[in-house]
Each structure stands twice: as C-alpha cells, then as structure tokens.
Amino acid sequence: MEYNIQDMNLTLQERMQAMKLKAWKTALTLALKKTPRTSSEFDRLPGHVAIIMDGNGRWAKKHHLNVSRGHRQGTENLREIIRHTDDLGIGVLSLYAFSTENWNRSEEEVGALMQLILGFFASEIDELDAKNVRILILGDKGRLPEKQREVLKEAEKRTEKNTGLRLNIAVNYGSRAEIVKAVQEIAVKVKNGTFRAEEINEQTVSDHLYTAGQPDVDLLIRTSGEQRLSNFLLYQNAYAEFVFPETLWPDFSVHDYDLALEAYGKRERRFGGRKKAGEDV
C-alpha cells in the first residue's frame, strides 16, 4: 500500500515507509533522466559544499593527453558546477584549485595551472559578478606571480559587495598554514589586550580563518575515488559529510553533482549526538 507523506493520521512507521518510497522513486527518476535537478527536488541541500577536484592527471593519461589538458578540461567542467550550485541556491561553494604542495609539480604543470586561473577569471568574472556571486580567495596570495595576484585581488574587490553565492577559490592554500596564521593573529590580539587568553573559544578561531563569517562545510566531495582531505579546510570540515565519487574530475557532470547532493540529503547528521527516541524505525 502507498501512503501519502502529508497525511497527518499516519503512524510514524507508515510515514517512514512513504518517505523511503519517495526516496526510491527520486533515485530511479534521477538514474533515468539526467537533466539537472531543481532545489525543490531535494529533501535537503547543504549550505556549504567543498570540492576537491581530483583526477585531472589520470583523465589526461586515459586520453593520451598532456596533464595540462586534463586541468583545462577540469576548468571547463567547473563553470557548469558553479552555475548549478548558484541555481540551486546553495550558499557557499569552496573549490580547491591549487594547494601549497602543488608547487612541487613540474614547472610546466604549475605554469599551466596558473594560466588556467587567469583564463578562468578573464572569461567568468562578468557572468559571476552579474549573478551577484561574491568571490573570496582562500590562501596566501603573496607567493603567486604578480599577474595572478592582481587578477585575484581584483575579482575579490569587484564582487565584495555581492550578496549571492559565496564562491571560495583556494589558491596556494594549506589548511594547517591557515590555522597557524589564525593562531598568530589571536596571539597578537591577546598580547595587545584585545581579549584575554581565557576568552578564546571555537568561534574566535573560526573568526580568524579565511572563511570567517561563513558556515562550516556541510558536504565535502572529492572526485576520482581518492578518500583524503589533503590539507583542505580541516577546521571547517569538522562535521562535514563526505562523498567520494569514482568519476575523474573532468568527467564529473552536473548529474554526478546531483547524485552527491542526493546522497547528502539521505545522511543522518547527528553532530556527535544521538537519534531522538522514536526515530529508530
């Protein structure tokens, strides 16, 4: 028998059965039609999505191409993912574009990534600004080539008053370095009497990270089947749900993204607590 979830006369068990049936139907529909979903098709969406865009190198190898082509394909991909995030009304999207460890790659690959970053902003900034997207660069811009540094600063400045999607792009970013920087800033404030050491709490630390004022990550996606954080938003990911699709980043479609968001919606988030009595059906 099929129950209507809205029917208030149903028992908890009947409602759960109806909800499970709805979830199955949605999953089946999703598997059959690959059109992008709208926000009303999700039971629950994350407020902050973080993505580790992994697998560009393997994608290039698979297609007998240079690794830089893999990164280029991955950048193409990015546009659709950002657009879809915005369309769904998700508040924050954080992307890991270049880590502090990525400097160890060949000069050619680092150069290609730096060029792609420039190209991305040149081609996307008008649309992002028009869509009210606010860009924030996570990481130390100081070590970047001057041109990249200027373009990134300009993108931040141009969009700083925008109130739509918050787009965080991590460039020359490392989470431990970010935490060390926060600790140093806090220590200076204690030294000059802005606040006392005993007053430092979790909020104080959050307020001194690049992401100050933003919500923690709800959903972390790492593509290509790898299951590591790789020094990405360690503090902000404390209670995030992790989804690790096997798809290599350049192949990661809006449909794959919808599946990851759908998986997030099914997770039971307890934040260290327990299910309430009666929920265990």
- Pick from 71, 84, 134, 166 the residue near ligand FPP by CB under 6 A: 71
Q: DSSP label at 42? A: -
* Site track for ligand FPP across 117-146, x = CB under 6 A: x--x--------------------------
| DSSP track, 214-249 | SPPPSEEEE-TT----TTSSTTTTTT-EEE--SS-G
Exactly one of 90, 116, 259, 261 binds ligand FPP (CB under 6 A); which one? 116
Place of tokens 């990550």: 217
Give the C-alpha separation, 42 to 40, whole Å.
5
Contact 159, 129 (CB under 8 A): yes
Of 169, 186, 221, 243, the residue at the interface with ligand FPP (CB under 6 A) is 169
Judged by CB under 6 A, the residue of 58, 69, 131, 141 near ligand FPP is: 58
Binding status of residue 54 toward ligand FPP by CB under 6 A = yes
Cβ of residue 90: shortest distance to ligand FPP, in angstroms? 17
Considering only 3, 50, 55, 257, the residue that binds ligand FPP (CB under 6 A) is 55
- Rule CB under 6 A: is residue 231 a binding residue for ligand FPP? no
From 14-22, 51-59, 130-138, 267-275, span contacting ligand FPP (CB under 6 A):
51-59
Residue closer to ligand FPP by CB (options 18, 52) is 52
Helix (H, G, I), strand (E, B) or coil at 134: strand
- 66, 102, 162, 231: the active-site residue: 102
# binding residues, ligand FPP (CB under 6 A):
19
Sequence-separated contacts (24+) of 58-66 with Cβ below 8 Å: 58/224, 58/248, 59/248, 59/249, 59/250, 59/251, 62/248
Nearest approach in angstroms of CB 134 to ligand FPP is: 15
Q: Please, which residue, 102 or 206, has the CB nearer to ligand FPP?
A: 102
* Residue 201 is among the residues annotated as catalytic for this protein: no
Q: Which residues contact 52 (CB under 8 A, 6 or more apart)?
A: 96, 220, 221, 222, 223, 226, 229, 230, 232
Q: Does 97 bind ligand FPP (CB under 6 A)?
A: yes
54 is catalytic: yes
- Of 143 and 266, the one with the shorter C-beta distance to ligand FPP is 143
Residues 4 to 23: which contact ligand FPP by CB under 6 A? none
Kind and range of the H or E run holding 172:
strand 166-173
Cα dihedral 141, 153, 160, 47 sign: negative
| CB nearer to ligand FPP: pick between 55 and 139 | 55
Q: Could you give the angle at which helices 12-32 and 254-266 cross, rounded to 10 degrees?
A: 170
Asked whether position 155 contacts ligand FPP by CB under 6 A, the answer is: no
- For the record, the structure tokens of 243 come out as 């989804």
DSSP E strand stretches across 11-165: 48-52, 92-99, 134-138
Among residues 48, 49, 51, 74, the one that binds ligand FPP under rule CB under 6 A: 74
Please give the helix or strand (H or E) that residue 17 lies within, else none. helix 12-32
Q: Give contact residues for ligand FPP (rule: CB under 6 A).
A: 53-58, 71, 74-75, 78, 95, 97, 102, 113, 116-117, 120, 169, 224
Catalytic positions, written as ranges: 54, 102
